[in-house]
Amino acid sequence: MKVRYQYRIYPTPQQVKGLNQLFGCCRVVYNDALAIVRSVPQGEKWPSNAELQKLVITQAKKTAERKWLADVSVVPLQQSVQDLSVAFKNFFESRSGKRKGSKVGFPRFKKKLNQQSARFVRTGFSLKGNKLELAKLGRFKVKWSRPLPSEPSSVTIIRNTAGQYHASFVVEIGSINIEPLRPSIGVDLGIKTFAFLSTGDRVESPGYNRLDRKTRRFQRKLARQVKGSKRREKTRLRLAKLKLKTANIRKDFLHKTTTQLIHENQVVVLEDLAVKNMLGNRKLARAISEQGWGTARTLCEAKANRVNDREVRIISRWEPTSQICSDCGFRWGKVALSVRSILCVSCGTEHDRDGN
């Protein structure tokens, strides 16, 4: 099973200059390849991946407009064209119904201000002691927070919108054996309480209110500033760091929670929530998006595949779990979201809405 291990790297000023040049070259090669595909008349055959690499890399280096492509390693440039092929594959599989999940749109041109990345395969990188060596870029200092479980097959260098650099390694791992504490558990996801468990325990999510207020304040400030000014760029960077901090807190919480659920329970039962539709509620959209319900489900399913004898089951979103008494089975019907406690008229048991 292939997984990713990500580490923070600290390039020198000279290496930062080289990485920025590499990101620009990868972005240009990707956009040139996409422009060629879009220019093909309707009904005619599109160029293959090998033909695109020849056009936007090999032949482009011989022109005056793209001769600077020779200054960087050819490996990430080839991988950039390969990424375009994968994007088209996902688009057509999504249109035909072979790909599950939300619909994938037609590939778009890459922008300079978004997150930047460049991928190296085994021919373009190596590990020299505690440092990472990249072709034509030298050795990088890596913050090894944990050891790699096996030899990596590729590494992706990422620069996020906050200006931080990371190395994401793809490694092969085997499944692990952990004895579960319980045969199964039901999980009801919510806003005020992130998860109400069938054991009666509650999992509270971190508070995002303070960071959210600061983020909204800087967003208003950014909207008033002149585009292209140094002060606007300074505000954009502070805003990006705030959003990154919120995302890191959420990611850390979701990873720890889902790991505990999978390790302690043989079967984890979740509800099939229509998160995208629920975000249409303007009053609850921000609170729902902060919780990361979709990410929690994805992490549970991925971690269940890594541990032997683990399973994640999904209950239909149309199952009336909040309308039926969990003790006697009496159905009292639909109840408003504001009602948090329900008294069953059949057996007289008082239920917490989420607990029921």
136: three-class secondary structure by DSSP: coil
Residues 114 and 77 in one domain: yes
CB atoms under 10 Å from CB of 242, counted, come to 19
Residue type, 242: L
Residues 45 and 167 in one domain: yes
The sign of the torsion formed by the CA atoms of 177, 178, 179, 184 equals negative
User: Final residue of a domain: which of 138, 153, 172?
Assistant: 172
Alpha helices of the chain — where are they, by DSSP H? 13-39, 49-53, 74-96, 209-224, 230-264, 275-278, 285-291, 293-306
Residue 167: inside a domain: yes
Residues 346 and 213 in one domain: no
Residue 177: inside a domain: no
CA atoms of 36 and 29, how far apart (whole Å): 11
pLDDT value at residue 316: 84
CA atoms of 140 and 128, how far apart (whole Å): 10
* DSSP 8-state secondary structure symbol assigned to residue 218: H
Residue 229: inside a domain: yes
Residues 191 and 272 in one domain: yes
* DSSP 8-state secondary structure symbol assigned to residue 55: I
Contact between 193 and 203 (Cβ < 8 Å): yes
- Catalytic member of 212, 233, 301, 354: 354
Contact between 351 and 326 (Cβ < 8 Å): yes
Residues 328 and 230 in one domain: no
Kind of pairing, strands 265-271 and 311-315? parallel
pLDDT in tens, the chain (356 residues): 899 999 999 999 999 999 999 999 999 999 999 999 999 998 889 999 999 999 999 999 999 999 999 999 999 999 999 999 999 999 999 999 898 878 899 999 999 888 999 999 999 999 998 999 999 999 999 999 999 999 999 999 999 999 999 999 999 988 888 999 999 999 988 888 899 898 888 999 998 999 999 999 999 999 999 999 999 999 999 999 999 999 999 999 999 999 999 999 999 999 888 888 888 888 888 888 889 989 999 999 999 999 988 999 998 888 777 778 877 777 877 777 777 778 887 787 787 777 77
Respond yes or no: is residue 133 known to be catalytic. no
CA atoms of 335 and 240, how far apart (whole Å): 41
Respond yes or no: is residue 172 known to be catalytic. no
Residue 9: inside a domain: yes
Residues 156 and 213 in one domain: no
312 closest CA partner among 258, 257, 273: 258
Residue 346: inside a domain: yes
Does the pTM of the predicted model rise above 0.75? yes
* Domain coverage including residue 350: 320-355
- Cα 232 versus chain centre, distance: 27
Residues 227 and 325 in one domain: no
Contact between 158 and 115 (Cβ < 8 Å): yes
User: Final residue of a domain: which of 111, 141, 172?
Assistant: 172
Residues 76 and 161 in one domain: yes
Residues 188 and 162 in one domain: no
Residues 148 and 279 in one domain: no
List the beta bridge partners of residue 168.
Answer: 6, 156
pLDDT value at residue 319: 79
Residue 122: inside a domain: yes
Q: How many structural domains is the chain composed of? A: 3
CA atoms of 336 and 340, how far apart (whole Å): 9
CA atoms of 144 and 132, how far apart (whole Å): 11
Residues 240 and 286 in one domain: yes
If residue 2 lies in a helix (H) or strand (E), which one and from where to where? strand 2-10
- Catalytic member of 133, 233, 264, 271: 271
CB atoms under 10 Å from CB of 309, counted, come to 12
User: Final residue of a domain: which of 172, 191, 222?
Assistant: 172
Concatenated DSSP letters for 226-252? PTT-HHHHHHHHHHHHHHHHHHHHHHH
Residue 178: inside a domain: no
- Cα 137 versus chain centre, distance: 27
Respond yes or no: is residue 32 known to be catalytic. no
pLDDT value at residue 57: 96
pLDDT value at residue 282: 83
Residues 68 and 163 in one domain: yes
Residue 304: inside a domain: yes
